[in-house]
Amino acid sequence: MKIILFSSNMDTIDEWVKRHGIHHADTCQDTDSLIDKLEDNKNIILIADYDSVASEINNLISSYSLPKNLIVLERVPEIATGKMLIRHGIKAYGNSRMLSQHYKQMLETVTYGNIWTYPELTAALVKTTNKESLNSDALQLVENRLSAKELEVIYLMLNGLTNDAIASAINITTRTVKAHVSSIFSKLHVNDRVSLILLLK
């Protein structure tokens, strides 16, 4: 998959290239050149610098023309910004100066069609949805597809509990919780907790 780096600040692009050893990436510094590159390449991952191109990204959101695989990075990521971007279809949001191991994990996650966020944002997304806030369609979906124990697990997940905390709360092993979580993802056709929240929100 081809990578396009989008920032009006060449220093940021240079920093990303050096920090993560990015080879053969295209770069864009304005919306016109970005649109040209997006038309030429359908199979791309776009990494955007929110510090310098936020208004361009927001315009893409409002015009419903977001590229399929858009990663947004910011020097000081904020949970409120992350929630807004993820809910509008961004595939990943995080720190523009993240470590290379996190960058590689993020890129791999997005390449496989999943959503990547940093742990604090994932926890915040999970906490914004609980049983009481589910609409009737979401409630019907989980109650029709999940077992009683899986329902117990999913409601604890929706309250932001980790696998270990869920295990402690309902007196089962963490391994059993992981099995329930995997089954929940499979039955609801999602790949991760963020996708689950987006499905049920």
* Among 92-101, 170-179, 187-196, the least confident range: 187-196
CATH class as words, domain 129-200: mainly alpha
The domain spans of the chain are 2-117, 129-200
pTM for this prediction:
0.71
Given a cut of 60, whether residue 35 has pLDDT beyond it is yes
Q: Identify each DSSP E strand in the chain by its residue range.
A: 2-6, 26-28, 44-49, 70-74, 92-95, 116-117
- What are the structure tokens assigned to 87, written together? 């809910």
Grade residue 37 by pLDDT with cuts at 50, 70 and 90. Answer: confident
In the prediction, which pLDDT does 129 show? 57
- CB neighbourhood size of 56 (10 A): 17
Q: Hey, is 193 helix, strand or coil?
A: helix
Strand order across the 2-6 sheet: 26-28, 2-6, 44-49, 70-74, 92-95, 116-117
Q: 106 near 92, Cβ under 8 Å?
A: yes
Task: State the Cα torsion 121-161-182-94 to the nearest 10°.
Answer: 10
Q: What is the pLDDT of residues 49-106, one digit of tens each?
A: 999 999 899 888 888 788 889 999 999 999 889 988 998 889 999 999 999 999 999 9
Q: What does the block give as tokens for 38?
A: 């997006």
168 has pLDDT over 80: yes
Does residue 41 register a pLDDT over 70? no
Which CATH number does the domain 2-117 belong to among 1.10.340.30, 3.40.50.2300, 1.10.3720.10, 3.90.1150.10? 3.40.50.2300
